[in-house]
Structure 1
Amino acid sequence: MAAFWRRKAQRLARADGSRKGALDERAAAVVRLLNGRAPFCTTSSCSGRLVLAQGSAADTSGCGIHKKNCTWLMVTHETCIKDDVMTALEKATGDVVLKFEPFVLHVLCQELQDAQLLHSVAVNSGFRNSGITVGKGGKIMMAVRSTHCLEVPLSHKGKLMVSEEYIDFLIHVANQKMEENIRRIDRFYKRLEVALKPAISTNSSPSEEMESRSRYLHRRKRRTVQEQDPHTSPKDHREELEHEGDTESSLGVFAEMTI
């Protein structure tokens, strides 16, 4: 526990090292909500973005990373219009890709059950590529991610390789993804508020807080099972949930991705 508090204090005291140098507006509410709770500390975030990147596609992988061999011709955390894309493409001298990168958040967690709670909320909010890793010294990290991405080459050696009609289509698709990304962030924040309420009650003992979290996880599992197969009998639902409860402590359930 002491190690977690030391890491959290060091992280929160550190200056923002991102290219932007500040929190994305849409991610700020989630970040502040989590950092205001004792068991959590966010380490990096991006609210989602549309990028025209010049350079190797591999050099642009990962939100918040701006590598030496990559130049951003355009970046926005909102929907975009064709004129902005075409103006940015006029600056191209190399290979350019249009990318949509969805919301991503990395959170240091005090206990495994804290990470499991956050994982449950993330998955049920649409971030189904989320996962938990446990590092050396018991460091527990929770990553909120999704596969709601887009990456399309547009030019080669400065020459546009697609028609403007196709660019129109791509912008429409990318904007739809951005709008869905915004909805997922809003849903995640609202569900996170509900999930964390029992844990911040000043009148609750540690055992009561753990019981409240357990009830929240159970409710989410039951709802998920019912949505997946509404024709299954209540008895079958109970049996499936009991079986899932036996393996809930296994990291394998949550290791859909690693950091």
Structure 2
Amino acid sequence: MPKWRARTLNSSRMDRSAEFKKWKAQCLSKADLSRKGSVDEDVIELVQLLNAREQFFTTSSCAGRILLLDGGINGLGVQKQNCCWLLVTHIPCVKDDMMVALKKANGDAVFKFEPFVLHVQCRQLQDAQMLAVRSTHGLEVPLSHKGKLMVTEEYIEFLLNIANQKMEENKKRIERFYNCLQLALERETITYSHTKIKEKNNPFCTHKKKRNPEKLRGKCIPEENDKEPENDDDSDPGINVAIFPKDY
């Protein structure tokens, strides 16, 4: 790769990094617009872990919650944007609270358990696989239709027991995810440090010495030895694209 091309890529990488850093600062300085108005306690450490890394920042998160929504139901399920939130809790729920909330329903009340979800902006393409992290043990059950309760209190209590169990399992999954992510990030840091050490000690990362014209004068140089190395950019420290395989 020509040197000018390598330098251009390196410069472009620095521009993207600065732009991402500015974007991150702007997003994290904004007010929390969620209904709760703050990060859920069970994911605070996870959010802090990600936001402490220069290549990530979080845009939204939920540690898991139990919901009772009142609105219309279509073939795609309940639409939260066009419904009334009768109850929302991020801790285990009791039947009495659910029954009080159900009395306020005028449409199609739906009971939901929503597990942990986390949205992350990533600076590098290979990290974008974790752009959205979701758990899969959700629950969604209709309870009333046009204000009329369609199930028994016994069944509602049964659903709450299931949802509360899912809430506890959800906390365990968050903890496992945090531990695995922390380990992965630590390994990435170690790998990056080793790469920088190898790069520093790599003899190909030093400037190529100029040929001594005095030594070459009067000598016949074979054609194949007179050509510049094919990977000439290897001789220029800090611009070799191969040094930054994860950035492209």
Q: Same fold, TM exceeding 0.5?
A: yes
Report what 2:18 is aligned to.
2
The Cα of 1:99 is off from its aligned counterpart by: 0.3
Report what 1:165 is aligned to.
154
CA distance in 2 between partners of 1:159 and 1:208 (Å)? 69
Partner of residue 86 from structure 1, selected from 99, 102, 105: 99
Aligned residues: 181
SS at match of 2:34: coil
Letter in 1 for 2:34: S
The Cα of 1:205 is off from its aligned counterpart by: 5.6
Structure showing greater radius of gyration is 2
Report what 1:145 is aligned to.
134
Q: Could you state the TM-score of these two structures normalised by the residue count of structure 1?
A: 0.64
CA RMSD of aligned residues (A): 2.5
Report what 1:36 is aligned to.
52
Letter in 2 for 1:164: E
Partner of residue 25 from structure 1, selected from 15, 26, 41: 41
Partner of residue 56 from structure 1, selected from 64, 72, 82: 72
Task: Note closer, same or farther for the CA distance 1:208–1:188 as it changes in structure 2 (3 Å cut).
Answer: farther
User: What pairs with 1:1-259 in structure 2 (closer than 5 Å)?
Assistant: 1-57=17-73, 67=81, 69-116=82-129, 119=130, 142-200=131-189, 204=193, 207=196
Report what 1:246 is aligned to.
none
**Per-residue CA distance 1:75-109 (angstroms, 9 max, x = gap):** 11111111111111122222100001111111011
CA distance in 2 between partners of 1:80 and 1:208 (Å)? 54
Task: Note closer, same or farther for the CA distance 1:170–1:59 as it changes in structure 2 (3 Å cut).
Answer: closer
**Per-residue CA distance 1:121-163 (angstroms, 9 max, x = gap):** xxxxxxxxxxxxxxxxxxxxx1001221111010112111101
Task: Note closer, same or farther for the CA distance 1:162–1:59 as it changes in structure 2 (3 Å cut).
Answer: closer
Give the percent of matched residue pairs that are identical in Structure 1 and Structure 2.
58
SS at match of 1:99: strand
Q: Could you state the TM-score of these two structures normalised by the residue count of structure 2?
A: 0.66
Contact kept, 8 Å, 1:52 with 1:96, in 2: the verdict is yes
The Cα of 1:112 is off from its aligned counterpart by: 2.2
SS at match of 1:197: helix
Contact kept, 8 Å, 2:72 with 2:107, in 1: the verdict is no
